[in-house]
Amino acid sequence: MDYLAALESDVRDAILAWYGIHARPLAFRRTSDPYAVLVSEVIAQQTQAERAAIRWERFMTRFATVESLAAASPADVLREWQGLGYDRRGLALWRAARIIVEQHRGRVPASIDALEALPGIGPYTARAVAAIAFGLPVGAVDVNVRRVISRIVGGPEGLPTAGVQAIADAAASTTDPATWTHAVMDFGATVCRPRNPLCGDCPVRPTCRMAGTSDRRAATTEISARRTTPFHATNRWLRGRILDRLREAHHHEWVVLDAPIGIHALDRVHRAASTLAAEGMIEIEAGFGNGGLRARLATH
């Protein structure tokens, strides 16, 4: 299949026309400032778009420039990140800001390679920043974009990853890359959904190779498997509770961890704290209380 020519112009035009009417009014779409776009994309990596937009505004109020983020302490960033989950993202963004200030003179780099070299920035985020902030003709492929292109072009058989990326890049090169990026993401999130897609409302249904099929495998792509372990029993839950306790403490105040948290025994609490310290998110000292240790959010 000629992937570079696979997404026909009338399909692209139909999605863009749909977006012109149905675009979600997300706050971060009002800017093309590279730093603001980078922050929005990192926040949105594992956060629903509507919630990400609200928290993005708050984060940008607290850290309005890349310099202000780079000058903050990890504790400052982790407190602001509370409730967004996957706290490593916040710390990675802080580290990326420091690199941008130290190695790029405070300017977010425009090239894909330089963006991917930053902490916490993978292929999707790098291409989203390049397309939205710098207008580069590259396709940012997240799960929504992959699903839309795979269904329209590949049908029940789907498409290989390289084919999806080639089609996304080709589509971005024929129009405004930022608008196309937002449009195809919104289309996948609200119409071409992983479960129960709104095919009756789809403007590209006449062209879509998935239309009229009953292939459940393709129609339910990216649906997460049911969790077999209760969330409160996971290490992720425990890590989050430890960080929340430290966030609630006064600035630089130590908190003694000398008792179980939830169903997690003290030794598991200490192991989780040690891992958080190794990742640079907290600082710990042993020998406090009844076999406890004390901890605080990282100060540098």
Superfamily of domain 27-134: Hypothetical protein; domain 2 (1.10.340.30)
Q: 148 with 184: CB under 8 angstroms?
A: yes
Average pLDDT estimate for 49-63: 96
pTM: 0.85
Helix-then-strand count for the chain, H and E: 14, 3
Per-residue pLDDT, 214? 52
Give helix 34-43 / helix 49-62 axis angle, nearest 10°.
Answer: 130
DSSP-derived 3-state class of residue 292: strand
* Structure-token match 């425009």, residue found: 110
Fold annotation for 3-23+139-219: Endonuclease Iii, domain 2 (1.10.1670)
Model confidence at 219: pLDDT above 70 = no
Instruction: Please report, for the chain, the start and end positions of each structural domain, with discontinuous segments joined by +.
Output: 3-23+139-219, 27-134, 231-297
| Active-site residue set | 41
Torsion sign (Cα): 34, 60, 276, 263: negative
The 8-class DSSP code of residue 5 comes to G
Tell me the pLDDT tens digit for each residue of 2-44: 554 557 788 999 999 999 999 999 999 999 999 999 999 999 9
Distance CA 152, CA 210 (A): 6
The 8-class DSSP code of residue 233 comes to G
CATH class of 231-297: mainly alpha
Model confidence at 165: pLDDT above 70 = yes
Tell me the pLDDT tens digit for each residue of 65-101: 999 999 999 999 999 999 998 899 999 999 999 999 9
**How do beta strands 255-257 and 282-288 pair?**
unpaired
